[in-house]
């Protein structure tokens, strides 16, 4: 049986709401979702106002069969792997997600940087996590 990514995610949402989902079930779900081929996106929020994120979330498709709307984009085309505001993971787990994607998929992901990158004091004012990561 072939199921689209969108239908799979809708099914997961309905199922997890109806059932008591255990941590092991969530881990298996994450494994299954990672097997789906879509371009991973690492979205880093630097010194900005989150306006790009808001615009992205407000994206609509007024012309059928033109550009994808937000739902189509996130469920069929892209996999938003890291976004500090929108992702479920936090802390070290969020950093691990970013490192895993960048290390395991060189030149196979999209890096979005929202906002300016401060360079004063060698960039000490825009740090993500506690380790230096080369993307």
- Enumerate domains of the chain plus CATH numbers: 1-36 (no CATH), 38-135 (3.40.50.700)
Query: How far apart are alpha carbons 40 and 83 in whole angstroms?
Result: 11
Nearest Cα to 16, choosing from 2, 3, 28, 5?
28
Asked if 94 and 84 touch (Cβ cutoff 8 Å), the reply is: yes
Residue with tokens 């085309």: 77
Ranges under pLDDT 70 in the chain: 1-6, 8-37, 61-67, 130-135
Q: How confident is the model at residue 55, as a pLDDT?
A: 83
49 contact partners, CB below 8 Å, separation of at least 6:
115
Structure token digits, residue 133: 């990561």
As a whole number of angstroms, the distance between CA 135 and CA 131 comes to: 12
pTM strictly above 0.85? no
Decide: residue 103, CB within 10 A, 0-12 exposed, 13-18 middle, 19+ buried.
exposed
pLDDT of residue 8: 65
In eight-state DSSP terms, residue 39 is E
Tell me what pLDDT residue 79 has: 84
At 27 the pLDDT is 66
């Amino acid at each position: 049986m072939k199921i689209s990514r969108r239908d799979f995610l809708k099914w997961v949402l309905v199922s997890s709401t109806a059932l008591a989902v255990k941590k092991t079930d969530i881990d298996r779900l994450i494994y299954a979702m990672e097997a789906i081929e879509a371009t991973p996106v690492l979205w880093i929020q630097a010194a900005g106002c989150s306006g790009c994120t808001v615009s992205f979330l407000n994206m609509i498709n007024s012309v059928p069969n033109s550009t994808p709307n937000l739902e189509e984009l996130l469920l069929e085309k892209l996999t938003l792997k890291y976004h500090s505001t929108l992702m479920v993971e936090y802390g070290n787990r969020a950093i691990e997600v970013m490192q895993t994607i960048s290390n395991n998929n060189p030149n196979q992901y999209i890096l979005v940087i929202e906002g300016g990158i401060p360079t004063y004091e060698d960039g000490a004012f825009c740090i993500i996590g506690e380790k230096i990561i080369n993307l």
